[in-house]
Amino acid sequence: MTTTPESPDGGATAAPAPVAPPGARFDPVTGAELGAGGSERKESFALQPGEPVMSFNMVTSLMPLASGTAPQTYRWALGLGLLVPVIAGALGYLAFAFVAAALVVPAIYVVYMYDVNEWEDQPVAVVLGTIGAAAALGVGFTFLWHAGLLGDEVAPVDFGQGAGGVRWSTLLVLVLLVPVVGELVKQVGPLFLASRPQFDDMIDGLTFGVAAGASFAAAETIVVNRSLFSSFGSIDSPDSGFWVSLILSAAIVKPIVYGAATGIAVAAWSGIGSGFDGFKPSYLRGLGEALLANILFQAGLYVASRVEGTAGAVIGLIWGALIAAVLLVRLRYLLHYAVLEAALEASSKGTTLKDSAHGTAFCPSCEMPLLEGANFCVVCGTATRAGGKVTRARNRSVDAAATPSLKPVPAGTAPRDNSKTAVVVGAVVAAIVLGGAIGQGVAAAGEDDAPLSPEDSGIVLEPDLGAGPTTEDAPEPADPPGPDPDPTEESDESSSESSTESSNGSSAKLASFSTALSDGFTDEESEGTDDGSGGIGGGPQPDDTTTSSDIVDLGVAGFRVPAGWEVEFNEPGFAQLWGPGGYFIALTTPSPASMEGLISDHLQGLEGFGVQELEYTQPEAISLPTSAVVDAQTLFYRGLMASQQGGTFPVEGFGYYFLTQDGTGITAFGLFEQGALDASTDLVDGYNAMLNDLVSTIQ
């Protein structure tokens, strides 16, 4: 809204201000509610008078120009648009669901902008400046923090009985870096456009900010869920509650939060009146509100992700919805009071607003005729600013100066915007379905159907002779009656000696496990480790500064912590470590344990941790690594984990299960992102070292 008067003499000869006729409910100039006793107009939203200012109506908040019958159109579009990804997700078509979810709000918004001609006949500039720029920047920035900064650390995996360690790098990135930098990145395009004269209106700024935010959210959703396009694009037995929560979060909550926050900031940048306010305190306030909202949103999602399973997903969804609701209300108040303030200011200065009615003009909401020079409808109170650009252009022009680009309308007929409900809804749904189908097609093409295979994992348990109990020698036979036979010459003297030798060596290792690690290697161990593959079982060789704190003690067995690994949690019977790309967890089960129980407890535990669509190989017996163990089995598994923040990522791992001579069970398993074992020799070496240490120390 501008203070520049229409008349060239600066308003000295401006038309007299319209007077409300008897019975009018609202003042045509200021929009104040007549008869309200001077109280603030709160029960009638200036841009949609059928609603109070305090309302969570997403359509009228984010699409304020879709007044009249148009809100119903976009409610239909939103409802049906949400239904598509929700149904797809409930059926297990995850790639389809997440791409469709990402497109819901952007698709509706593009149609909205076309419908209200928000881009003033410059669609390319507007689309590129908002949606295109935001999406591109969203893809780039998300890759930077999701795949670059955090890599696989973004996996919010949390195991163990009460394991509560916080990985501070992850926390800082997710809760500070992402929301702060992301918000600034989102505003690049909208701020540029809002500085153009044809888009200097506050509602223009709001619109561009919402569009950019929604597009950025869409890009982020697709990038963090990119693994769906190579594996687990569709799953057979989805946990509907879990996946629908994530999909709703991606489809509606995140776009609202991102869009509303950016919309608030960019609206503040644009300011009231023509031109833009720029980096003024009002913008800084708006930016601050946007940043705070994003930080709170991400922090809540981080906390929710530490709650296992569907409960965590639902908590995250509810938290996001709360943030979104607050932002919507804030946005409504911002627009409402901006519209009223602009009118009041113009009235006090004796000037007219840009969208004041002239000539034959009709209310964009109730279609009642508008008084000459009116800024508000006297009947319903809708601001003249609330109409689409077509309507506003017609209302503010003198009848003889119809805009050539507008379609001619019959005289006396209220101008209607292009709002054919079926076409709008159809276009939105079609865009969503098409996007989802493309996503599912890409996933199908990239899906890895290769069966799980325990081979080539690189993990090798080497039998440690003498590490456990040894078989006593057979007794010497008695002499026979009669002559004595000659002494026996053994054919192979070395086998018993080598067995004794290895037994002594292993016994030395066992007897002085902690001491040897504290004091560094014994000579015997050092001699065999020149090729760097030494240590027990051939893992990475700890350096001479190994201390007792680098030893994990489970009570019945233990292992050294390889370089590059960090103990996140250790108590008797349980240890959780994080290393170069994966987790290693070892836990004990008191006697009498059973192999079947160890395996089923482990697999159930993985499902409880949130691993969806768990597939696993048949448990396979392996050669005993030590005689202290009576049974040893292994299996490999893979599955899918997801959260609102981290997206979806396929995981895989191995499990080793040992039953000791006294009936104690030991479970040792690794969990890492799919392909991590192939990519990282450090990871394999670490697992080998820890596993071989572990079995060597079982008594």
Q: Which residues bind other proteins (CB under 8 A)?
A: 463-465, 467-492, 495-496, 499, 592, 595, 621, 623-632, 659, 661-663
Tell me the C-alpha distance between 86 and 90, whole Å: 6
Nearer to other proteins, 350 or 469 (CB): 469
Q: 137 with 129: CB under 8 angstroms?
A: no
Instruction: For the CB of residue 533, give the shortest distance to other proteins in the complex, in Å.
Output: 18
Instruction: For the CB of residue 668, give the shortest distance to other proteins in the complex, in Å.
Output: 17
Nearer to other proteins, 39 or 471 (CB): 471
Among residues 22, 109, 158, 140, the alpha carbon closest in space to that of 569 is found at: 158
Tell me the C-alpha distance between 206 and 270, whole Å: 8
Instruction: For the CB of residue 559, give the shortest distance to other proteins in the complex, in Å.
Output: 19
Residue with tokens 């392909």: 675
Q: What is the DSSP letter of 73?
A: H
Tell me the C-alpha distance between 233 and 255, whole Å: 23
Instruction: For the CB of residue 594, give the shortest distance to other proteins in the complex, in Å.
Output: 8
Question: What angle, rounded to 10 degrees, do the helices at 309-349 and 202-224 form?
Answer: 170
Instruction: For the CB of residue 625, give the shortest distance to other proteins in the complex, in Å.
Output: 7
Indicate the SS3 state at residue 78: helix
Nearer to other proteins, 576 or 626 (CB): 626
Give me the phi and psi of 524, to 5 degrees please: -60, -40
The residues facing 588 across adjacent strands are: 666
Nearer to other proteins, 395 or 667 (CB): 667
Q: Which amino acid is at 166?
A: V
Nearer to other proteins, 162 or 487 (CB): 487
**Dihedral-angle region of residue 522 (phi above 0 means left; psi in -120 to 50 means alpha; beta otherwise):** beta
Contacts of 580 (CB under 8 A, 6+ apart): 564, 565, 680, 682, 683, 686
Nearer to other proteins, 449 or 492 (CB): 492
Instruction: For the CB of residue 467, give the shortest distance to other proteins in the complex, in Å.
Output: 8
Q: Which amino acid is at 12?
A: A
Instruction: For the CB of residue 584, give the shortest distance to other proteins in the complex, in Å.
Output: 24
Contacts of 584 (CB under 8 A, 6+ apart): 565, 576, 577, 668, 669, 670, 686, 687, 690
Tell me the C-alpha distance between 246 and 101, whole Å: 10
Q: Is the peptide bond before 592 cis (omega within 30 degrees of 0)?
A: yes
Nearer to other proteins, 22 or 480 (CB): 480
Indicate the SS3 state at residue 400: coil
SS (H, E, C) 39-68: CCCCCCECCECCCCCCCCCHHHHHCCCCCC
Instruction: For the CB of residue 624, give the shortest distance to other proteins in the complex, in Å.
Output: 5
Tell me the C-alpha distance between 598 and 580, whole Å: 27
Instruction: For the CB of residue 476, give the shortest distance to other proteins in the complex, in Å.
Output: 6
Nearer to other proteins, 321 or 630 (CB): 630
Nearer to other proteins, 301 or 666 (CB): 666
Record the tokens describing residue 525, joined without a space. 């161990």
Nearer to other proteins, 643 or 664 (CB): 664
Instruction: For the CB of residue 513, give the shortest distance to other proteins in the complex, in Å.
Output: 19
Tell me the C-alpha distance between 488 and 483, whole Å: 15
Residue with tokens 């990804």: 85
Nearer to other proteins, 180 or 465 (CB): 465
Instruction: For the CB of residue 488, give the shortest distance to other proteins in the complex, in Å.
Output: 5
Tell me the C-alpha distance between 585 and 264, whole Å: 46
Tell me the C-alpha distance between 346 and 464, whole Å: 90
Q: 565 with 577: CB under 8 angstroms?
A: yes
Nearer to other proteins, 120 or 631 (CB): 631
Instruction: For the CB of residue 664, give the shortest distance to other proteins in the complex, in Å.
Output: 10
Nearer to other proteins, 272 or 624 (CB): 624
Tell me the C-alpha distance between 354 and 251, whole Å: 36
Nearer to other proteins, 298 or 626 (CB): 626
Tell me the C-alpha distance between 56 and 516, whole Å: 67
Nearer to other proteins, 278 or 663 (CB): 663
Q: Identify the burial level of 344 via C-beta atoms within 10 angstroms of its C-beta, where 0-12 means exposed, 13-18 middle and 19 or more buried.
A: middle
Among residues 214, 210, 206, the alpha carbon closest in space to that of 335 is found at: 206
Tell me the C-alpha distance between 94 and 545, whole Å: 49
Tell me the C-alpha distance between 156 and 305, whole Å: 7
Instruction: For the CB of residue 634, give the shortest distance to other proteins in the complex, in Å.
Output: 13
Instruction: For the CB of residue 511, give the shortest distance to other proteins in the complex, in Å.
Output: 17
Instruction: For the CB of residue 698, give the shortest distance to other proteins in the complex, in Å.
Output: 11
Tell me the C-alpha distance between 288 and 180, whole Å: 10
